[in-house]
Amino acid sequence: MPHPTLRAIAPQWASTLLLLIVLLGAGASLSGLRLALEAWRMAEEPGPVAASPLPVRVALAGEVFAVPADLVRFPPGAVAKAASSGTVETERLELAIDWRRLPGFDEAPGSPRLHLRLIAGDDPVSAATRLERIYRPFFEGEEIAGPDGLAGHRLAAASGYGGETLFYEPDTPETGKMPFMIRCGSETSSLAPALCLRRLSLSPNLRVEYRYRRDRLDRWREIDAAVTTLIARIRG
C-alpha cells in the first residue's frame, strides 16, 4: 500500500504530468511549457508566504530594498534571516503581489496575483534590439490587433517561443523610449490560464520580470505604471 504522504501528493503530480503531456502533444516550445507550468503553479498557489506586512531589508545588485514580508516568495527564509541579521543578500528576489496592493487596482480577495522577479545583472540585449533581431525574424501569420494600441504576432517554433504571441507597441513616439513588449502564452489550454511575461532593465545592474494572466492584458498601461510605482516604493 502506498505511503499516506505519497497518496496525498499523487493527484498534484498527476495533474502536472497531464498538463505536460497535453502541451508536448500540441507542440509547445520549452518557453511555452515554462509559461504554462508557471500558470498552473500560480493557480494552485496557497496564500501569502508571511502574514506580516512589516518590511524585510533585501540587498540586491548593490541596492537595499525594503519589501513587505508578506510579498516575499524567494529567497526562502528571507523573513527569518532578516530578523536575525538585519539584511538578506540575494541575487534574485521574487514577490507575489495581491492586486489590491498595486496603485489603481481593487480586485476581489483570492484573485490570482501578479508575480514579480528582480534579478541582479543587466539584460545584454536592449528592448529595441530584441524586437528587431530576435523576435521580428520569427513573426508568422498576419498582424494581430492587440488591446489598447498593441500589435501582436505569433512566434514561429524555430524562435524557441513557438505557441506564444508577442505583443508590442508598433510606434514608440518618444525618442529613446524603450518599446513596450510582452510575450503571452497560448489561450488554447483549458488546464491552466495563459500567462504574459514582461521583462525590462531598471539599471545597468538590475532587471525585472513580471507576469500576469493574459486576460488582464487590456490594462497593460496601468499595470506597467503600477509596477514601476511599486518598485520605486521598495527601493531604499
Peptide bond into 75 cis (omega under 30): yes
pTM of the predicted protein model: 0.78
The pLDDT value recorded for residue 1 is 44
Task: Give the residue among 58, 180, 47, 44 at the shortest CA–CA distance from 118.
Answer: 58
**CB-CB contact of 217 with 167 (8 Å):** yes
Spans of the chain, pLDDT less than 50: 1-24, 26, 28, 36-37, 39-44, 46-48, 175
Backbone torsions φ then ψ of 5, nearest 5 degrees:
-65, -40
Q: What percent of the chain has pLDDT over 90?
A: 49
Q: What's the residue count for the chain? A: 236
Quick one: pLDDT at residue 226? 95
pLDDT (0 to 100) of residue 169: 92
What does the pLDDT look like over 180-201, one tens digit per residue? 999 999 887 666 789 999 999 9
Dist. CA 99–CA 111, nearest whole Å: 8
> How confident is the model at residue 11, as a pLDDT?
41
pLDDT (0 to 100) of residue 165: 97
> Can you give the pLDDT at residue 110?
66
Q: 46-71, pLDDT tens digit by residue?
A: 444 555 778 999 999 999 999 999 99
* Residue 92, all three cell numbers: 534574485
Q: Provide the pLDDT for residue 51.
A: 59
